[in-house]
A and B are shown apart, each in its own frame.
Chain A
């Protein structure tokens, strides 16, 4: 795997872009969970 990436360096760039995207995606999922929790409590209260 590492040797393959060493020879095809474009995959290193791809992995780095994917890592950045994964980090932002995790943040968004956590925000989404917060909003769902808020919606739930609002439903209970109304």
Chain B
């Protein structure tokens, strides 16, 4: 576990330092220079911080779905706990992706909110997972709560790939990779706009944020298990 903990701290710190310190030059000559991306300039550095939060959201929601599925198969309350913890972390990263995206949008597209397909779809995801927690808090019986929210987590998880990977690419929009975008599949994969060193730093950032998610997940899980043990001991005393 300490590898995850220190790995996430080191990688995210490295990305913050390198992402901010490496200079942008019109024609990079060496590995420690980023090219200037027209229209983005210094704002291109946001890619290392905004996109990984959105990616971690997807990971967390999919993990929540997998544990929902495992709960329904085994009825083991541990899986329900993991499912809800992952959904909570996903919601936090989803809010972060929305807020950082809105700030970036203000300076690149002119206003905080533009109802671009990707902005709309992340807003719907926020609503879907907000409803997940309302559903949980509305049910008193633990088993019923776990079963219903597992089913909800599966259905909600199934919508995530459509909202993140499919819908924003089928429609015209402001985000890179939207339908009709001249750069093709977005700056990341096909267009060659993102230089090799930027790409490496971006993947390091993804890894760092994913490790951070795993660390927070286990931290939250350990606390939940102690809470459970306390509840159990109180019940046996009575």
Contact = CB atoms under 8 A, between A and B. Distances in A.
| B interface: dominant SS | helix
A19 B96 contact: yes
Given A13-B45, A13-B46, A27 B107 contact: no
Interface residues of A, number: 23
B96 to A, nearest CB: 4
| A interface: dominant SS | helix
A9 B100 contact: no
B174 interface: no
A12 B103 contact: yes
Contacts of B53: 20
Interface string A1-14: 01001100110111
* Highest count of chain A CB atoms <10 Å: which of B19, B89, B100: B100
B95 A16 contact: no
Contacts of A20: 49, 53, 96, 100
Interface of B: 16, 19-20, 41-43, 45-46, 49-50, 53, 89, 92-93, 95-96, 99-100, 103-104, 106-107, 212, 216, 219-220, 223, 226-227, 230, 233-234
Interface of A: 2, 5-6, 9-10, 12-17, 19-20, 23-24, 27, 31, 34-35, 38, 41-42, 45
16 contacts: A9-B42, A9-B43, A10-B42, A12-B43, A12-B103, A12-B107, A13-B19, A14-B20, A15-B103, A19-B96, A19-B99, A23-B92, A23-B99, A31-B220, A38-B227, A41-B230
